[in-house]
Chain A
Amino acid sequence: MFYIDLNVKLCKTKQVNKMSEIKTKEYEKPENIINPNSKFSIEVDNLRKVFNAKKGYDDVIAVDDVSFKVKSGEIFGFLGPNGAGKTTTINILIGLLKATSGTAIINGYDVQDGLYHIKQLIGVCPQEPAIFKFLTGKEMIELFGGLHSMNKAEIKERTNKLLDILNLSNASKRKTKGYSGGMLRQLNLIIALIHDPKIAFLDEPTVGMDPRVRRATWEFIRSLKKTNKTIFLTTHYIEEAEKLCDRVAIIDYGKLIEIGNPKELIEKYSVNNLEEVFMKITGRRIMEGM
């Protein structure tokens, strides 16, 4: 009985594999083959997410017709005020939420049906750390390394490296139950990057970290670029986003209102830094009394 069941499952997986191979080929547009550098890691088209409220309350349009593309090897900053729709967008891209309409393609796979493949490629640092309290930091990292099919030696080497960078080596031997807020966030980030993902979604990775760790984190994120990793980053540290990101998108009330290279944006709005660009173009609706 069990054997039969297993076989059926195996067959199914194979079929899925074949199907998605066909899918990938479909997505590989001719221009990508001509110019491999133009291959996009993330392609978002007219993405919309409406949270339907209970009767008597207004629906929330969290993401409103957003389109953008992120190139492979790019550090892409996704900026916007609180409640702008950043986390919602990420949750759609990583398959936790279903979009109301529009498409999202990660590395050639549609999030609608290619999620299994996407999950092997991505690393996610969620805005809220989710950590098993009864495990030590190290065990928690090993769990996720194992889920990503890394072998023991790989996990060990990479864990030590990341713990070192984030200065968490000592604490990692303790149960996470007693971790401080910042330590939980550090661990949260390590878990996201343990398997050296091709594409990393980092949702405010440095919140609550002390300045030293934060700086080390930014340096590390910068170093990932050298290995051609794509980073999709949200942060409220606009100054650091300005230094770090190849391009930024600014989103407000679910709408993408600006996208481009930080320097170009600063020039375009004739201001001194990216934060001023941010201040200038976000929250307009508040000022306009909406």
Chain B
Amino acid sequence: MNFKRIRVLLKMELLKIVREPAFLFLMLLFPAVLTIMFGFIFADPEFGMSMETVAPGLFGYACIFIIMIVAQSFTEMRDQGLLKRLNISPMTSGDFMASEIISNMIMVIFQVIIVYLLALPFGFNPNTKVLGMFLAFLLMIVFSLSSVGLGLITATISKSSGTATGLSFIFILPQMFLGTFIPVTATTKPIAMFMPSYYATNALSAIFSGDLTNSWIITGFTFITIVSLIIIIIGMFLFKKFGNK
């Protein structure tokens, strides 16, 4: 790995997200719109839920869509011969993956800030200080690793970027419905137990409740770290082996 190469690749990745409307929308606008919409819906007392319970799920929600962005971005680069083009430069796959992971981590930080700020007017009132916010950022950053990994796996099995968009829902939907702000019931819990988003949401809820000794925090971190590492390693391996043709 070479710091300079990672830096120029990172610049390229960030420009891609900022300049490609589809990516910019999914990355930043979508979480914003979602927070405002759910804010209006859930903040209504008639609904019987509060932003307090919904907000942690919204953070995860935004991060889950990184799967689609990564899958699309990689299939596009592959189809347009750009991966090959980069591969004949001195760039190593380590440089490339590092830039990919860092750019998504940076985006996750923006997502957290956007959702956080927009949820406040709708009654989101987290009981956290600096350490709590730091933990929330850290958790989402680790969580984003699993999304990058799942995106790579999607790209490997997708023939085109269109297919990638569709197939990414294999990983997006279960995480969305079985782990974010939709309450997990006794029926769905056995499945939700395997979803990183379930742990992310619960750990975030615990962090925002202000009780940093809550066991969900350590459970969440442990599960997500282990699962994310496994997924990203599988993703990188699969993509290197089969997704680069």
A interface residues, Cβ below 8 angstroms from B: 6, 9, 94-96, 116, 119-120, 122, 124, 126, 128, 130-132, 134-135, 139, 142-144, 146-149, 175
Query: Which residue of the partner chain A has the closest CB to B229?
Result: A1
Contact of A130 among B8, B11, B80, B91 (CB under 8 A): B80
Contact pattern, B 71-114, Cβ under 8 Å of A = 1, otherwise 0: 00000000011101111111110100000000000000000000
Q: Tell me the bound Cα distance from A130 to B80 in angstroms.
A: 6
- The answer to whether B15 touches A147 (Cβ under 8 A) is no
Interface: B4 (CB within 8 A): yes
- The answer to whether A132 touches B81 (Cβ under 8 A) is no
Nearest-Cβ distance from residue A14 to partner chain B, whole angstroms:
13
Interface: B16 (CB within 8 A): yes
Q: Tell me the bound Cα distance from A144 to B88 in angstroms.
A: 10
Q: Find chain B residues with CB under 8 A from A119 CB.
A: 88-90
Q: Find chain A residues with CB under 8 A from B4 CB.
A: 146, 149
Q: Tell me the bound Cα distance from A130 to B82 in angstroms.
A: 5
- The answer to whether B88 touches A116 (Cβ under 8 A) is no
Q: Tell me the bound Cα distance from A119 to B82 in angstroms.
A: 16
Indicate whether A149 sits within 8 Å of B2 (C-beta atoms), given known contacts A120-B90, A135-B15, A143-B8: yes
Query: Which residue of the partner chain A has the closest CB to B85?
Result: A130
Q: Can you sample 13 A-B contacts with CB below 8 Å?
A: A95-B87, A96-B88, A116-B92, A124-B88, A130-B80, A130-B85, A132-B12, A132-B16, A134-B16, A143-B11, A143-B12, A146-B5, A147-B86
Interface: B46 (CB within 8 A): no
Contact pattern, B 1-40, Cβ under 8 Å of A = 1, otherwise 0: 1101101110110011001100000000000000000000
- The answer to whether B81 touches A135 (Cβ under 8 A) is no
Q: Find chain B residues with CB under 8 A from A130 CB.
A: 80-82, 84-85
Closest 3 CB pairs of A and B: A146-B8, A130-B81, A130-B85
Q: Find chain B residues with CB under 8 A from A9 CB.
A: 1, 94
A-B contact count (CB 8 A): 63
- The answer to whether A116 touches B16 (Cβ under 8 A) is no
Nearest-Cβ distance from residue A153 to partner chain B, whole angstroms:
14
Q: Please give the number of chain B residues whose Cβ is less than 8 angstroms from any Cβ of chain A in the complex.
A: 26
Q: Find chain A residues with CB under 8 A from B7 CB.
A: 146
Contact of A148 among B16, B81, B90 (CB under 8 A): B90
Nearest-Cβ distance from residue A230 to partner chain B, whole angstroms:
16
Q: Find chain B residues with CB under 8 A from A116 CB.
A: 90, 92
Q: Find chain B residues with CB under 8 A from A139 CB.
A: 12, 15
Query: Which residue of the partner chain B has the closest CB to A95?
Result: B88
Q: Tell me the bound Cα distance from A128 to B92 in angstroms.
A: 22
Nearest-Cβ distance from residue B142 to partner chain A, whole angstroms:
12
Q: Find chain B residues with CB under 8 A from A95 CB.
A: 87-88
List B residues 113-172 near A (Cβ within 8 Å).
Answer: none
Query: Which residue of the partner chain B has the closest CB to A191?
Result: B85
Q: Tell me the bound Cα distance from A89 to B179 in angstroms.
A: 51
Q: Find chain A residues with CB under 8 A from B94 CB.
A: 9
Q: Tell me the bound Cα distance from A94 to B90 in angstroms.
A: 11
Q: Tell me the bound Cα distance from A68 to B155 in angstroms.
A: 39
- The answer to whether B81 touches A149 (Cβ under 8 A) is no
Query: Which residue of the partner chain A has the closest CB to B84?
Result: A96
Q: Find chain A residues with CB under 8 A from B19 CB.
A: 134, 175
Q: Tell me the bound Cα distance from A147 to B4 in angstroms.
A: 7
Query: Which residue of the partner chain A has the closest CB to B17?
Result: A134
Nearest-Cβ distance from residue B227 to partner chain A, whole angstroms:
15
Q: Tell me the bound Cα distance from A132 to B83 in angstroms.
A: 11
Contact of A132 among B82, B88, B89 (CB under 8 A): B82
Q: Find chain B residues with CB under 8 A from A126 CB.
A: 81, 84-85, 88
- The answer to whether A142 touches B8 (Cβ under 8 A) is yes
Nearest-Cβ distance from residue B201 to partner chain A, whole angstroms:
25
A128, A144, A147: most-surrounded residue (chain B CB, <10 A): A147
Q: Tell me the bound Cα distance from A89 to B2 in angstroms.
A: 30
Q: Find chain A residues with CB under 8 A from B92 CB.
A: 116
- The answer to whether B1 touches A134 (Cβ under 8 A) is no
Nearest-Cβ distance from residue B99 to partner chain A, whole angstroms:
11
Q: Tell me the bound Cα distance from A139 to B12 in angstroms.
A: 8
New contact pairs (9) apart from A95-B87, A96-B88, A147-B90, CB-CB < 8 Å: A6-B1, A124-B88, A130-B82, A130-B84, A130-B85, A131-B82, A132-B16, A142-B8, A175-B19
Q: Tell me the bound Cα distance from A9 to B16 in angstroms.
A: 29
Nearest-Cβ distance from residue A175 to partner chain B, whole angstroms:
8
Q: Find chain A residues with CB under 8 A from B88 CB.
A: 94-96, 119, 122, 124, 126
Q: Tell me the bound Cα distance from A264 to B223 in angstroms.
A: 72
Q: Find chain A residues with CB under 8 A from B84 CB.
A: 96, 126, 130
Q: Find chain A residues with CB under 8 A from B90 CB.
A: 116, 119-120, 147-149
Query: Which residue of the partner chain B has the closest CB to A139?
Result: B15
Q: Find chain B residues with CB under 8 A from A143 CB.
A: 8-9, 11-12
